[in-house]
Chains A and B, each alone.
Chain A
Amino acid sequence: MKATEKVVPVTEQKDVDWDKYLAAYYEKPKSSLTWSGLDVKEVYTPEDLPLEKYNDIGDPGQYPFTRGIHRNMFRGRYWTRREVIGMGSPQDTHDRSKILVEEGGSGLNTIADIPYEMGLDADHPWAQNEVGLTGVCITNMYDMETMTADIPLDKVSWSLITASTVAVVTMAQYAAVAKKRGYDLKKLRGTVQNDPVHFRYCGFRPACPLDLSVKLGADVMEYCTKEMPLWYYTTVNLYDLREQGVTAPQEVAFGFLIARLYIDEMIRRGYKVDDFMQRFAFYVSCHIDIFEEVSKIRAARRIWAKLMKEHYGAQKASSQQFRFAVHTAGCSLVPQQPLNNIVRIAYQALAAVLGGVQSLHCTSYDEPVCLPTENGHTQALRTQQILAYETGVTNVSDPLGGSYYVENLTNKLEEEIYKIMAEVDKVGGMYEAIRTEWLDRVFEKEALTRQKEIDDLDKILVGVNMFTTEQETTTPLGVQRISKASVKRQIEMVKKLKKERNQALWKEKILALKAAAERRENVLPYMIEATEAGATTGEMMGAVRLAYGYPYDPIEIIEAPF
């Protein structure tokens, strides 16, 4: 078959402004600040990196891990190519996940939708028009079975992105399904995001009361440490904080202080850091300023190692190491000239890999327009594959290590991060900074500053405040829609389950869960049993919420059915 030739019309000639052309020839950058506003010099020399300081940097794989957590880095294993997927029904999400596995993805990664993150069942009156729009809604064990059907759980590493207090439910649902299918929980690999404290800043405050956030976060950590030792029981989410508009050093400082809330809770429960820190991980943003992002990651590794060793007395290397996944910065993408986003994402992914990332998600270039289309998703995976297989970046560990500039910027970011941490200390620590809404005010101020930088041309966004063109009339790859029929079917299934389950057993298990929460026990084992007895996400969260004095329903419109 002959390919059809598409004739592209030549753009109509316009009068060229030659003075502007000449000005462009001589133009130089207006600003020499980094994205986060750090002032940098025009050149760095050996004076900026005295050799005697090398001990504070260390080789890759050596304390304080500035240069990476493994000596051989990507020679040992590529980073995990893990694209986030979540759309429509559990079946739709399952199908898209398998497509990306077939295209060469190396880790599964599913994200919850808004009702699920809020702890609402798919049949909640507020949820019905929002199920599946931004992720997948798992209301019960059968939804989880559908999403994971025919995928060998002992051969995959599955990242479950449920960040809110509902992460504990997700873990229970996954464990219940794995048990039913005969898998040994101790051998399962994967990750659950489980960082409810940060999630209050993503609009989920009613679902994430502060005390319950710390308690349930630690419950998952405690359960997995004992029963699922290969499972990464949290990825503390620095990324979402950055998406609020804060700077690179603020991202690390605030994220680390939130991470410490969970660690301190585990210590309060009687654990030592070396008992449980081996499976603690982070989720980091990579924005567009390549050198700043690499330096941020290097500084984060050094600070974390020192904090764990010096403050918490961690002896094992695995409890001192800052392990992290990267999500390229969604907030840096714009719908104007959308193909440009592919380039932005590629630079951000490069920064992640130069920084020694463990697992990477590249955003899809169509995300400022809609959920990723299948082609958008695949293209994002291809960006990772070009980086991994074509560019040669995998050859050498920490290739920017020893650069006068990067080492200096790493030191500078380290200083900034410590300074911001000290500011939080001054307001009484992170718990108080959150409780008093000090942190809210910081986020608001920074978000406004970021917008003004674009408006005032202090930061350039190609296609937005420079080199603009007429608005494109279409997105090149079309729009991803959610199948209304499959979502409707899911909601019907939930209603049916609630009617047809063994009501006596269900009630016994849900009340046992509530009683355990009242006794302040770890609720996860009780949630597994309740899940097996047909209890739903909303019911289990509701039981725990009631035990802690919160309304059963975060939206406060439905009553407890028990």
Chain B
Amino acid sequence: MVKRKIRIMIAKPGLDGHDRGARVLARCFRDAGFEVIYTGCHQTPEQIAAAAIQEDVDVVGLSCLSGAHRYLFPAVKKILDEKDADDITVIGGGIIPEQDFQVLYDAGIKALFTPGATLEGYRGLGPREHRGKDMKGSMHFFK
């Protein structure tokens, strides 16, 4: 049986232009056998949600280093839910203080990655059984 590749969209919502992390991730996921779509900078939550649905992705990875994650991440998740796309897993990364984790978790964000996260940790997203197991450093998987 041929397993369908996991499709992930890496997106940069809002005005933030710090895209080194997002670009590295896009390459890393591709090298790890994912199908990857990278939106580039300056996308609205509406644009990201629409593209995620159109591209039929499994995961949307949002990157924001400006501090606007508190507003932008929940906005994307909310639009996806409204469009009956709540099966798409939304994760995020950036300069995100722990004090914000609960807010984002309550909004439906499934995992957060902050500086110092290793690529190996991200790949753990693939095989579901690795999720949330032995996560050290900067990976925070909500159970």
Contact = CB atoms under 8 A, between A and B. Distances in A.
B94 to A, nearest CB: 10
Interface in A526-561: 555
A10 interface: no
Contact of A451 (B24, B44, B95, B96): B24
B5 to A, nearest CB: 20
B142 interface: no
Given A368-B114, A444-B27, A471-B140, A130 B41 contact: no
A369 B17 contact: no
B137 interface: yes
B68 interface: yes
A380 interface: no
Contacts of B28: 448, 451
Contacts of B99: 474-475, 478-479
A334 B138 contact: yes
B95 A368 contact: yes
Nearest to A127: B15
Given A370-B95, A468-B136, A471-B138, A333 B115 contact: yes
B20 interface: yes
Q: How large is the interface on A (under 10, 10 to 19, 20 to 34, 35 or more residues)?
A: 35 or more
A451 B24 CA distance: 8
Most A CB atoms within 10 A — which of B15, B17, B96? B15
A244 B20 contact: yes
Interface in B84-143: 95-100, 114-116, 118-120, 136-138, 140
A454 B67 contact: no
Interface in B8-22: 12, 14-20
Contacts, number: 112
Interface string A182-212: 0000000000000000000011111000000
Contacts of A243: 20
B76 to A, nearest CB: 13
Given A129-B71, A335-B114, A202 B138 contact: no
B98 A473 contact: yes
Nearest to A124: B15
A130 B14 contact: yes
A381 B71 CA distance: 32
Contacts of B72: 129
B23 interface: yes
Interface stretch (A12-20, A459-467, A506-514): A459-467
A244 B119 CA distance: 17
A334 B138 CA distance: 9
A129 B68 contact: yes
Given A134-B67, A335-B138, A370-B97, A204 B17 contact: yes
Contact of B27 (A334, A448, A471): A448
A49 B119 CA distance: 43
Of B16, B27, B100, B136, chain A has the most CB atoms within 10 Å of the CB of B136
Interface in A473-520: 473-475, 478-479, 482
Contact of B67 (A203, A371, A444): A371
A133 B72 CA distance: 13
A336 B95 contact: no
B51 to A, nearest CB: 17
A482 B136 contact: no
A133 B67 contact: yes
B137 A114 contact: no
Contacts of A479: 97, 99-100
Given A115-B15, A203-B42, A331-B20, 17 more contacts: A120-B15, A129-B68, A130-B16, A134-B66, A203-B12, A335-B116, A368-B116, A369-B95, A447-B23, A451-B28, A463-B116, A464-B118, A468-B136, A473-B98, A475-B98, A478-B99, A479-B97
Interface of A: 114-115, 118, 120, 126-127, 129-130, 133-134, 202-206, 243-245, 331, 333-336, 367-371, 443-444, 447-448, 451-452, 454-455, 461, 463-465, 468, 470-475, 478-479, 482, 555
